[in-house]
Amino acid sequence: MSNVDTRTVVVVGHGMVGHRFVQTLRERDTADHWQVVVVSEEGDPAYDRVGLSSYVGAWDRSALALSGNTYAGDDRVVTHLGEAVVDIDRAGRRVVTGSGREIDYDALVLATGSYPFVPPVAGHDHDKCFVYRTLDDLDSIRATAEAAGAGAVGVVVGGGLLGLEAANALRQLGMTPHVVEFAPRLMPMQVDAGGGALLENLVTELGLTVHTGVGTSAIADAPDGVQVTLSDDSVIDAALVVFSAGVRPRDQLARDHGLPVGERGGILVDTGCRTEDESIFAIGEVAAVEGRCYGLVAPGYSTAEVVADALLGESTTFPGADMSTKLKLLGVDVASFGDAMATTENALEIVYNDPVAGKYSKIVVSDDATTLLGGILVGDASAYAMLKPMVGREIPGDPAALIAPAAGPGVGIDALPDDAEICSCNGVSKGSICSAIADGACDIAAIKGCTSAGTTCGGCVPSIKALLAASGVELSKSLCEHFSQSRAELFEIVAVTGIRTFSELIDRHGTGQGCEVCKPTVASILASTSSDHILDGEQVALQDTNDHFLANMQKNGSYSVVPRMPGGEVTPEQLIVIGEVARDFGLYTKVTGGQRIDLFGARVDQLPQIWRRLVDAGMESGQAYGKSLRTVKSCVGSTWCRYGVQDSVGMAVLLENRYRGLRSPHKLKFGVSGCARECAEARGKDVGVIATENGWNLYVAGNGGQSPKHAQLLASGIDDAHLIAYIDRYLMFYIRTADRLQRTAPWLDALEGGLDHLRAVVCDDSLGLAADLEASMAQHVSGYRDEWAAVLDDEEKLKRFVSFVNAPEVVDPTIRFTEADRKVPVLLDMPSMPDRTTVPEPQGVPT
């Protein structure tokens, strides 16, 4: 036993909550009363389990490490990692580890967390079945996925928060994910039927196959992995299965030593987080506070702080838990807060549903519509930061205005009182953040350091930024944690210094190894500032899958081929070659909205063979896979049309040949119409050109997509020379100054001075940049070389176009198709194709 002056607390488990307990105790134990001994079964010290999915792709364990998790320089904390506690001698106050180590304690804190629930289906213990909980789990999944090859099917059992994260991880590993959820909708604990329906649509569009309302009946061995049978008797052939069907409190150690547990599991504790044994506490997911376990990190942190105070003689109690959640799943925003399911008596629901834009919003209000009780947001969770702190408070004005744009302006950060909680993970109020700003905390990092706001899930960071802006503080424009510079600043550094590799740029101007944000951004900058091939040297390691293989990956792991057709023009000979290639390789052909022909269903090893024939026929890469110029759409113009006043086809061909291969922050689309009838839909494009009798009208910054925006008139009645010069300047100014993945429409919206400033720069040369911008474009034009032609001339580059690097002669057996009246990829359980000669009866159409 320890002496009177120094007592020992043993912490079993070193997850996020266990680490928070140690940190809190050490910060508050100013007299050094306690010696801390941490025993953890995992070999890694505390890491960010909430951000576990960010490990995929980077595969850098240190990037997830929590700050201070080794307690370097603190001799009051000892850690034993990779060692499990197997016995507790409650009478003697001693724990014993699996290695035989005995540790005496004055207080014992159980922070054992939870374990993944694996349904007891036949075959659940197959070696191709995994759980999604630890870094080691992800390493195992990665090894199996890579062995299976690109496009292999992975089944995720569970469609909740972690299930969709696991599906996203499989997607990032190049697999084709199927999600099986027993409930009738995805994320049944967080979203309602309306939100679930939209969420399913959105993730399906992103390549997931969703099976709801069914369970998993059996998992059997198969030659290429496993065969998964569902409760509706359908079968999925898969390379692996990931169980993510929820978690259970890891309370076995307590059960084995006589500590009471809750009805649904978890170690029973009072509001002070103390068990029946006065010297033993439980915190985090394993603690059943008055019978209830909480599976989120914020209430876990609260339990950690309660126990730290108890050991120091303070009498604090668990304050309850905010179960609000906000996250981005596969790029889709999802959030729920407060009484999201409207369980309050006589509560009213206000719903705003825009399936076309991919947005679903619901708020729950009191029966007199004056108090906000909760809500759900799917597709666009930007309102979460404002709405969540308002729960339980009076609504200023019309409740519908909180979520429906047409109902009026929403609520700003200024409307929130000082006691509104901005960071629920760490219990930080608006007033605390504003006080920190007033005391000199002038950026996100400083506010995190002095208030802890934003240090856990990060969901409150937009609100912190809004408070900084409201206080007149200029926010950092750092690209990411590895570069303090903005994308525009990095562009200038590369342009001025002539740096040509990511490693040199990060060595001289950044820190660390880089991430999924800065690597592709720098790859784009390098491509925009030279004519180097994107698969040369280090460049290839920075590219995503599409750029890596110079083709668009489709949902079954095959690729599409899109030859360039400038302005929509194509010769009869080229059409014949396209047809022969499609026939000989069994490809599906589709005329696109960008006036091209798409060839679908090519295996990666077939791409060089296909492109050899297309290049020999005089065709180039259409670069439909890159963040670059996609197409220049045109009408037939004055050459053929009796209404045309200018040669729109000739201009479209000129523009496409001039700007082909131009890498940019996002994709670019052009349109050229020969008259005001606008058959080329030029005003929906990043660059729109419309002919008039007085010359060309130039429109800029129009976008289609999820948030369509009309292009705006930049110049009118200009001749060919001015048109080209203005487009040169506009594009290069955009490429130099836009943020990563920012299309031209939002770029112009965010540009200080807006269209007037852009016009001054482009047309009036107000910044004196015209000659420089034009020279940069001229350099691109003169240095252009077709990317696929360059690959075909390089034996080293050709070596990467194989299904399996270690077995280049093997054809990927997972890529399959079915032929009905059109070729479609087989994604398992694909319904038979409908008879396309008859009109189907309408089903489920509202009257």
* Tokens linked to 341: 């399911």
Cite the annotated binding site by residue number: 635, 641, 675, 679
Does residue 207 lie in a domain region?
yes
pTM: 0.55
Stretch 72-85: mean pLDDT? 95
Known binding-site residues for siroheme equal: 679
- SS3 (DSSP) at 348: strand
Q: 3-class DSSP state for residue 143? A: helix
pLDDT per residue over 242-275, tens digit each? 999 889 999 999 999 999 999 989 999 999 999 9
Which of 371, 373, 370 lies closest to 362 in space, CA to CA? Answer: 373
The residue out of 769, 785, 801 marking a domain boundary is: 785
Q: How far is CA 563 from the centre of its chain?
A: 30
**Whether residue 774 sits in one domain with residue 640:** yes
With cut-offs at 50, 70 and 90, classify the pLDDT of residue 3.
very low
Comparing CA positions, the residue from 292, 306, 294, 264 lying closest to residue 109 is 306
Q: In the structure encoding, which two tokens stand for residue 576, read together?
A: 């014949």
Q: Residue 602: name the closest of 806, 823, 807, 798 by CA.
A: 823
82, pLDDT greater than 80: yes
- In which domain, by residue range, is 423 found? 415-473
Predicted confidence at residue 845, as pLDDT, reads 45
For residues 788-805, one letter each, b for 16 or more C-beta atoms within 10 angstroms of the residue's C-beta and e for the rest, the string is bbbbbeeeebeeebbbbe
* Predicted confidence (pLDDT) at residue 697 exceeds the cutoff of 90: yes
Output 825 or 793, whichever has higher pLDDT: 793
pLDDT tens-digit map of 323-346:
777 766 666 778 888 888 888 889
In a domain, residue 796? The reply is no
Q: Phi and psi for 50 in degrees, rounded to 5?
A: -60, -35
pLDDT at 833: 46
Residues 6 or more apart whose CB falls under 8 angstroms from that of 232 comprise 214
What's the token pair of residue 663?
């890498």
Is residue 296 scored above 60 in pLDDT?
Answer: yes
Asked if residue 468 is part of any domain, the answer here is yes
- What CATH number did the domain enclosing 387 receive? 3.30.390.30
Based on the number of CB atoms within 10 Å of its own CB, is 361 exposed (0-12), middle (13-18) or buried (19 or more)?
buried
Q: Based on the fold, state whether residues 647 and 744 are members of the same structural domain.
A: yes
The confidence score (pLDDT) of residue 191 equals 87
**Which residue type sits at 510?**
G
Could you tell me if 173 and 302 lie in one domain?
Answer: no
State whether 637 and 780 are in the same domain.
Answer: yes
Q: What is the pLDDT of residue 331?
A: 62
From 199, 218, 245, the end of a domain falls on 245
Question: Residue 73 pLDDT > 70, yes or no?
Answer: yes
- Does the pLDDT value for residue 828 go beyond 60? no
698 band by pLDDT with thresholds 50, 70 and 90? very high
Order of strands across the sheet that contains 559-561: 552-553, 559-561, 597-602, 588-591
Write the pLDDT tens digit of every residue in 173-209.
889 999 999 999 998 888 888 888 988 988 888 789 9
CB contact at 8 A, 129 and 241? yes
- Residue 836 — pLDDT band, cuts 50, 70, 90? very low
Q: 380 or 544, which is more confident?
A: 380
DSSP 435-475: HHHHTT--SHHHHHHHH-TTSSS-TTHHHHHHHHHHTTPPP
Which pLDDT value is given to residue 807?
A: 56
The CATH number for 445's domain is 1.10.10.1100
Helix axes 502-509, 487-497, angle to 10 degrees: 110
Residue 842 lies in a domain: no
Residue 630 clears pLDDT 50, i.e. is over it: yes
Residue in the structure block whose two tokens are 């070659």: 577
Instruction: Tell me the average pLDDT across 729-756.
Output: 87
Residues 108 and 256 in one domain: yes
Note whether 449 and 364 are same-domain residues: no
Does the pLDDT value for residue 430 go beyond 90? no
Q: What is the 3-state secondary structure (H, E, C) of 28-43?
A: HCCCCCEEEEEEECCC
Residue 400 has pLDDT above 50, yes or no: yes
Q: First-to-last CA distance in the chain? A: 77
- What are 263's two structure tokens? 């009805």
Residue 837 has pLDDT above 50, yes or no: no
Q: Which whole number is the average pLDDT over 16-36?
A: 95
Q: What is the per-residue pLDDT for 284?
A: 95
The pLDDT, as a whole number, for residue 847 is 39
**Are residues 497 and 357 part of one domain?**
no
Helix H, strand E, coil C: the string for 43-88 is CCCCECCCCHHHHHHHCCHHHHECCCCCCCCCCCEEEEECCCEEEE
Binding-site entries for [4Fe-4S] cluster: 635, 641, 675, 679
Q: Which two tokens stand for residue 731?
A: 């594009």
Q: H-helix or E-strand containing 755?
A: helix 754-762
Predicted pLDDT at 330: 64
707 and 720 assigned to the same domain: yes
| CA-derived radius of gyration, the chain | 30
Q: What percent of the chain has pLDDT over 90?
A: 47
Does pLDDT of 841 surpass 70?
no
233 and 262 fall within a common domain: no
SS3 call for 547: helix
Least confident segment among 9-18, 529-538, 586-595, 684-693: 529-538
Give residue 802's pLDDT. 79
Distance between CA 157 and CA 241 in Å, rounded? 7
**Domain shared by 540 and 450, yes or no:** no
Q: How far apart are CA 71 and CA 471, in angstroms?
A: 36
Residue 814, pLDDT score: 65
pLDDT exceeds cutoff 60 at 537? yes
Give the chain's domain count. Answer: 6
Mean pLDDT of the chain: 87
Going by the DSSP 8-state scheme, the letter that residue 703 receives in this structure is: B
Confirm whether 217 is domain-assigned. Answer: yes
Q: Of 192, 220, 245, which closes a domain?
A: 245
Domain of 689, CATH number, reads 3.30.413.10
Average pLDDT over residues 347-363: 88
* Residue 157: per-residue pLDDT: 97
pLDDT in the model for residue 402: 86
- Among 131-145, 182-196, 474-488, 689-703, the minimum mean pLDDT is found in 474-488
Q: Is residue 594 in a domain?
A: no
* pLDDT one-digit tens code per residue, 700-733: 999 876 667 888 899 988 999 999 999 999 999 9
Q: Are residues 137 and 193 in the same domain?
A: yes
Query: Are residues 348 and 451 located together in one domain of the fold?
Result: no
406 pLDDT more than 80: no
481 domain-assigned: no
Distance CA 270, CA 263 (A): 15
Residue type present at position 677: R
Q: For residue 632, tell me if it sits in a domain.
A: yes
